[in-house]
Amino acid sequence: MRLAMTAAALCGALAVGNVSAKVSPEDAARLGKDLTPIGAEKAGNKEGTVPAWDGGLTKAPACFKPGGRYCDPFPDDQPLYTITSQNAAQYAKVLTPGQKAMFAKHAGYKMVVYPSRRTLALPQHVYDATRANATRASLGGNGEAVNDAAIGIPFPIPANGHEVIWNHKLRYRGEGGRHFNNQFAVTTAGSYNQVTLREDIAINYSRKDATPQNIDNVAIYFLQVVTAPTRLAGTITLVHETMDQVREPRRAWQYNPGQRRLRRAPNVGYDNPGTASDGLRTNDQYDAFNGAMDRYSWKLAGKQEVIVPYNGYRLASGDHKYEDIMKKSFINQDLPRYELHRVWVVDSVTKPGTTHLYKRRTFYVDEDTWGILLADVYDRRDQLWRWQESHPIMYYDRGFIGIAGETIYDLQSNRYLSQNFSNEHPELTDDRFPPSYFEPASVSKQAIR
């Protein structure tokens, strides 16, 4: 694998102290020049297979109707090539260990690769906030806290792995809304049970009027309610995700309809099983990675060109039923779109004296969006265990990146979990929820009703 090591990556090999260095005004001035406004390389690669960023997708295509589902802005794009188990070795330099393992395990697995489209386009106030964060934001608490950042990417010119993962966790996704997360734990025979979760989200960090002072240490408010199947309906998870997780760890509560009480839930995090996931994901695998990072050492290994899921409009289409997508061994690979992009590579290994179900994980973080697109997951024997991918789409009328779905493949059990699919449900709405909506007393009243 070809790694482009940078000075930042070399810094990332060092342990994170209580405070990370802020970039100089001279370095910050690169944003919007040779770097995009949030820190990616603006230029394409020398082969021309990764294009230059030209401002992203700022205009809705003719097929889009306001208030309707997102349609594919590139319907005339034709595949460049298809990677299969027969020719995967030819593309080894741009595949991750997890991808190679999928080709080795499944003769019918394929990845259809299209021209690369750098579609990210954010509002100007997010670019302005990112520029401000670059010279003032810092890490605290051995990497478990972000100081003096709001709205924009906190570390657009990262110096270590902690900063890259914080960029993922705080990347701009609008100010929140209501989303339906449909989750499918698929058996070895290809059958599954569907679990539908209604998720109400307020991204406090990204409010247009947010400042480092008025965020009040809460980055995200998250309320998840199981609506189906009947046996699980009414189960609630409430989370207040904090900015300084040393001063105040994640606040979490759960409501069980049988107990009819909202209780504090310190187990909502780390490697505890995710809601109704049949043990196929941990809590910290939602959105590829979330929550505290203190059980791992994090190393920024550099940048790499990788084939990644991207612009997954076909996969998100309302024309496809869930049964059209969830197939035996893997999702219907005629639907995802793959492209060649540059990613930051971040390696994480459990620290001595700590434990996690996953001893080691390697994350592949999109340079344009700061979203984690792929993750290779290893067990305590250092064997590749699971492989995870996220399929992003640009919400071109709203100015941020959404998601078509996520998959977590268990390479040892030959099962997989799909989550965050909404093909037969409404896409993310623009509902605005005040902080009071996420107070435990308010949620308790909703639960009892």
Residue carrying the six token digits 């790694």: 3
The strand pairing partners of 164, in sequence order, are none
Q: How is 48-74 classified by DSSP, letter by letter?
A: SSSPPP-S---S--TT--TTS----S-
Q: Are 154 and 339 in contact (CB under 8 A)?
A: no
Q: Counting beta carbons within 10 angstroms of the beta carbon of residue 135, is it exposed (0 to 12), middle (13 to 18) or buried (19 or more)?
A: middle
**pTM, rounded to two decimals:** 0.95
Distance CA 124, CA 120 (A): 13
Contacts of 283 (CB under 8 A, 6+ apart): 268, 269, 270, 271, 272, 273, 274, 290, 291
Walk along the chain (449 residues) and give the pLDDT tens digit of each residue: 444 444 444 444 444 544 566 899 999 999 999 999 999 999 999 999 999 999 999 999 999 999 899 999 999 999 999 999 999 999 999 999 999 999 999 999 999 999 999 999 999 999 999 999 999 999 999 999 999 999 999 999 999 999 999 999 999 999 999 999 999 999 999 999 999 999 999 999 999 999 999 999 999 999 999 999 999 999 999 999 999 988 899 999 999 998 889 999 999 999 999 999 999 999 999 999 999 999 999 999 999 999 999 999 999 999 999 999 999 999 999 999 999 999 999 999 999 999 999 999 999 999 999 999 999 999 999 999 999 999 999 999 999 999 999 999 999 999 999 999 999 999 999 899 999 999 999 999 887 65
- The strand ranges marked E within 367-428 are 372-378, 384-395, 400-410, 415-421
b/e 319-336 (16+ beta carbons within 10 angstroms → b):
ebebeebbbebbbebebb
Amino acid at 330: F
Please give the angle made by the CA atoms of 416, 421 and 427, to the nearest 5 degrees.
170
